[in-house]
Amino acid sequence: MAFEPAQHSFITLEGVDGAGKSTQAHLLARALELAGHQVVSLREPGGTAISEKIRALLLDPANTAMGDTCELLLYEAARAQLVHEVIAPALAVGKVVLCDRFYDSTTCYQAFADGLDRQMVRDANNLAVAGTHPALTLVYHITPEQAALRMAARGAADRMEAKGMAFQERVYQGFCAIAAEEPARVKLIDATATIEEVFEKTVEQVRAYGLDIPQDAVAAALAKEAE
């Protein structure tokens, strides 16, 4: 059953590190643009000059002394600036906004994995976004063990990636829980298949939400990725 058209087209892509969501975000942005949509592609933390400076602090492996509450507030500060400066203005003029990670990552990493109070994290998320919530969230579903195999070739891990397998398992369980709690917004996509197969599932969900993506745009996006 198709979703009723929302007042805006704000789509977030989520998953454990190594799930392949960033590749899917690039493909989806390209296909939407080829289909005639105006697209703003973002990733968190980051997306503005201020938010990028915060990102550098958050992901620097040298910042081992950073406390969990400090980490939460830095993520929310970066998010608040991104919403204020980029996301809300883009949605106001009818653009499609794609964001590689958003507040569901904060819930999974800071609440489920780090153990911060979930209501506190929810309140912080709500404060940061000021009513600008995703209309559709795609969670790329892959176990931490499978993701770790993919990431082995990447080399040095950032501060979040270096927290270990038990931490990543709690993150994974968090995404599963959110998908079960909010099935209308959050859609699980099997990320263990090929890039092409995962992208077909991604497009299916975006079409069901109400955004038109002709099959020739899908094929062209995949062809560009293969170059």
The Cα–Cα gap between 150 and 145 comes to: 9
CA separation, residue 142 to residues 21, 150, 198 (Å): 11, 11, 12
Among residues 36, 27, 121, which one has the least CA distance to residue 71?
121
The CATH number given to whatever domain includes residue 106 is 3.40.50.300
2 located within any domain: no
Which are the contacts of 40, defined by CB distance < 8 A and separation ≥ 6?
86, 87, 90, 95, 96, 97, 98
179 located within any domain: yes
Q: Are 6 and 135 in contact (CB under 8 A)?
A: yes
* pLDDT the model gives residue 162: 67
The Cα–Cα gap between 101 and 87 comes to: 13
Domain residue limits at 36: 9-226
pLDDT tens, N- to C-terminus, the chain (227 residues): 333 444 579 999 999 999 999 999 999 999 999 999 999 999 999 999 999 999 999 999 999 999 999 999 999 999 999 999 999 999 999 999 999 999 999 999 999 999 999 999 999 999 999 999 999 999 999 999 998 888 876 664 555 566 788 999 999 999 999 999 999 999 999 999 999 999 999 999 999 999 999 999 999 999 988 77
Number of structural domains the chain divides into = 1
67 located within any domain: yes
Among residues 161, 131, 136, which one has the least CA distance to residue 147?
161
Determine the distance from the C-alpha atom of residue 135 to the mean position of all C-alpha atoms in its chain, rounded to a whole number. 13
- How many beta carbons lie within 10 A of that of residue 192, not counting itself? 14
* pLDDT the model gives residue 152: 77
3 located within any domain: no
91 located within any domain: yes
162 located within any domain: yes
* pLDDT the model gives residue 66: 95
45 located within any domain: yes
161 located within any domain: yes
Q: Are 165 and 144 in contact (CB under 8 A)?
A: yes
CA separation, residue 3 to residues 14, 50, 51, 183 (Å): 20, 35, 32, 12
